[in-house]
């Protein structure tokens, strides 16, 4: 085992292909459905909002999809990202476990999101598109697409969930610095936004609402396409550069994870790290890992939701996809990990949960921030509020290994830094951070509104 703390790859080791786990699934993914007919959706139905190259990736079952050279060239700005052995954290916890983390906060926008933002911007530019609309929760995705838009000369319009828009003003400033326009959703600029405001003028917004607004803009304007930061197959595909690099770096370390951990809201950063490891085990090429997806207890999609066909947005503008869902009308409380406030989960992640290949757990934000502070004081990096959920699970795994008196290799994805989220840490450190629970009555009501699919 290498006696190192940091494991670095050269630029030549940036993956040349994205890994598509659909090729290795023991059972195929349920197809998206046309909500009007209940029939499987054809690629042409997605053409008004996505370029055809991304639609082809969405439905592909090819194991490897080549990364275009202009995308790999942009990746060189921050990839390969480092893998660290968290030796100081191990000492603090006095654990026999070996803890590793893949650090995606080294990207220009500060998170894993540019891995797909750059790819989506490239394919849209190649298709002759000049404008993109999108949603963002905490602002990590919005700032990443704004950055990608600047690289490829695209105008970017971002609908940011209102509660996060006000909680995280510097994320908005970052988007505007990259040249994007950022609006607090719900807005009065779309029919979807006006419908929500008519029912609740003080709506804090949600990712489902923001998605409705962004999709509507793309569907109504021929010069505009929609870009999504999580959930869909092609987005998770682009993130697999994380896990592919991590596999090489774990080999450098002379170790292999027993457990792989990522926070999960829509599922992209968790999938990016875990899918290459899960796929290798499914093919019989590597030992099976325990893949743990950590979601917020206030928006417990996988641990309290239903596996069913549902809309990806509040106003029912998207196709129906089979996923773990709290119901497209469910309004999560306004907790600080805004990037995890989504009513659904990626169909691929949901499918793997059903197959027993992914284990979901839910944690509250106070213990998550406690873990973030422990990590920051040991390792020096302040994690994003979303990432603290993965840190919490990794610490709990290490303490469990200590109690059991066994060695255990833990790998988690530190999906972004929290330097633009310090107001959340201020609330935690001053004792003002509250653990928000979902309302069971509202959840029951939302699940009763799931579309009926034969």
336 — pLDDT class (breaks 50, 70, 90):
low
- What percentage of residues in the chain have a pLDDT greater than 70? 98
Q: Which of 282-286, 332-336, 450-454 has the lowest mean pLDDT?
A: 332-336
Q: Check residue 300 and report its DSSP letter.
A: -
| Residue 443: pLDDT over 90 | no
At 216 the pLDDT is 93
**Angle formed at CA 46 by CA 158 and CA 182, multiple of 5 degrees:** 5
Question: DSSP strand E in 313-453: where?
Answer: 320-325, 358-363, 409-414
Instruction: Give rounded-to-5 percent helix, strand, coil for the chain.
Output: 45, 20, 40
User: So what's the pLDDT on residue 415?
Assistant: 97
Tokens 């009926």 locate to 452
* pLDDT, average across residues 92-110: 98
- Percentage of the residues of the chain whose pLDDT score is greater than 90: 80
Average pLDDT of the segment spanning 178-193: 96
How do the domains of the chain map onto residue ranges? 6-13+68-110+234-447
Name the helix (H) or strand (E) containing 310: strand 306-311
- Summarize pLDDT for 229-260 with one digit per residue, the tens: 999 999 999 999 999 999 999 999 999 999 99
Closest among 177, 106, 91, 103 to 139, alpha carbons compared: 177
Q: What is the pLDDT of residue 422?
A: 92
pLDDT band at 338 (very low <50, low <70, confident <90, very high): low
Range in 72-86, 160-174, 250-264 with the lowest mean pLDDT: 160-174
Alpha-carbon distances of 296 from 149, 290, 346, rounded to whole Å: 30, 19, 15
Question: Among 112-121, 183-192, 307-316, which is the least confidently predicted range?
Answer: 307-316
Confidence class of residue 45 from pLDDT cuts 50, 70 and 90? confident
Does the pLDDT at position 86 exceed 90?
yes
The answer to whether residue 340 scores a pLDDT higher than 90 is no
In this predicted structure, the answer to whether residue 339 has a pLDDT above a threshold of 80 is no
Region of residue 431 (phi > 0: left; psi between -120 and 50: alpha; otherwise: beta): left
Can you tell me the mean pLDDT for 340-362? 94
pLDDT at 337: 55
Q: By the 8 A CB rule, do 163 and 186 touch?
A: no
H-assigned helices in 111-259? 114-126, 140-152, 162-167, 169-177, 191-199, 207-220, 233-239, 241-253
CA-CA distance, 223 to 235, in Å (whole number)? 22
The two tokens of residue 46 are: 């997605």
Span 364-388, mean pLDDT? Answer: 97
Averaged pLDDT, 408-415: 98
pLDDT tens-digit map of 127-156: 999 999 999 988 899 999 999 999 999 999
| Structure tokens that stand for 382 in this block | 């302040």
pLDDT at 85: 98
Confidence of residue 56 (pLDDT cuts 50, 70, 90): very high
Q: Is a pLDDT exceeding 60 seen at residue 166?
A: yes
Q: Is a pLDDT exceeding 90 seen at residue 163? A: no
Is the pLDDT at 279 greater than 80? The verdict is yes
Closest CA to 72 of 111, 120, 124, 15: 15
Number of other CB atoms surrounding residue 442 within 10 Å: 16
Please give the Cα distance from 386 to 295 (Å, whole number): 9
- 314 has pLDDT over 80: no
Instruction: Tell me the pLDDT of the chain averaged across its residues.
Output: 94
- Over residues 80-87, the mean pLDDT reads 98
CATH architecture of 6-13+68-110+234-447: 3-Layer(aba) Sandwich (3.40)
Return the CA Rg of the chain. 20
Q: What integer pLDDT is reported at residue 241 of this predicted model?
A: 98
Task: Give the confidence band of 218 by pLDDT, cuts at 50, 70, 90.
Answer: very high
Work out the pLDDT band at 206, boundaries 50, 70, 90: confident
Residue with the two structure tokens 């400033």: 173
pLDDT at 1 over 90: no
Please state, in angstroms and rounded to a whole number, the distance separating the CA atoms of residues 8 and 14.
11
What gap in Å lies between CA 47 and CA 39, rounded to an integer?
Answer: 17
- Provide mean pLDDT across the span 58-65: 96
Q: How confident is the model at residue 193 (pLDDT cuts 50, 70, 90)?
A: very high
């Amino acid at each position: 085992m290498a006696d190192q703390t940091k494991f670095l790859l050269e630029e030549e080791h940036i993956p040349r292909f994205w890994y598509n786990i659909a090729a290795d699934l023991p059972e195929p993914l349920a197809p998206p459905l046309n909500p009007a007919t209940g029939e499987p959706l054809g690629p042409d139905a997605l053409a008004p909002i996505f370029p055809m190259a991304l639609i082809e990736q969405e439905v592909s079952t090819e194991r490897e999809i080549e990364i275009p050279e202009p995308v790999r060239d942009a990746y060189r700005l921050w990839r390969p990202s480092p893998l660290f052995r968290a030796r100081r954290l191990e000492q603090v916890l006095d654990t026999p476990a070996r803890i590793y983390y893949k650090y995606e906060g080294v990207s220009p926008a500060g998170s894993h999101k540019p891995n797909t933002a750059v790819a989506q911007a490239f394919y849209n530019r190649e298709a002759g598109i000049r404008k993109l609309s999108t949603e963002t929760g905490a602002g990590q995705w919005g700032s990443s697409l704004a950055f990608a838009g600047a690289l490829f000369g695209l105008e970017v319009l971002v609908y940011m969930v209102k509660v996060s828009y006000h909680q995280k003003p510097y994320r908005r400033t970052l988007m505007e610095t990259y040249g994007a326009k950022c609006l607090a959703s719900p807005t009065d600029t779309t029919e979807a936004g006006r419908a929500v405001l008519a029912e609740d003028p003080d709506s804090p917004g949600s990712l489902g609402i923001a998605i409705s607004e962004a999709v509507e803009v793309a569907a109504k304007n021929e010069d505009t396409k929609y870009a999504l930061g999580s959930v869909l197959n092609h987005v998770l595909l682009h993130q697999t550069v994380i896990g592919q690099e991590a596999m090489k770096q774990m080999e450098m370390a002379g170790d292999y994870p027993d457990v792989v951990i990522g926070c999960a809201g829509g599922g992209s950063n968790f999938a990016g790290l875990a899918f290459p490891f899960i796929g290798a085990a499914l093919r019989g090429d590597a030992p099976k890992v325990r893949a743990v997806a950590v979601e917020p207890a206030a928006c417990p999609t996988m641990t309290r939701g239903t596996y069913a066909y549902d809309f990806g947005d509040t106003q029912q503008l998207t196709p129906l996809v089979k996923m773990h869902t709290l119901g497209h009308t469910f309004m999560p409380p306004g907790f600080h990990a805004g990037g995890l406030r989504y009513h659904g989960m990626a169909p691929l992640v949901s499918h793997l949960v059903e197959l027993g290949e992914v284990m979901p757990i839910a944690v509250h934000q106070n213990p998550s921030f406690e873990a973030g502070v422990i990590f920051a004081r040991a390792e020096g990096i302040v994690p994003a509020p979303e990432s603290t959920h993965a840190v919490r699970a990794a610490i709990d795994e290490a303490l469990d290994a200590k109690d059991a008196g066994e060695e255990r290799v833990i790998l988690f994805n530190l999906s972004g830094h929290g330097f633009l989220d310090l107001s959340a840490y201020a609330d935690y450190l001053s004792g003002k951070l509250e653990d928000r629970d979902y309302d069971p009555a509202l959840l029951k009501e939302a699940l009763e509104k799931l579309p009926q699919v034969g």
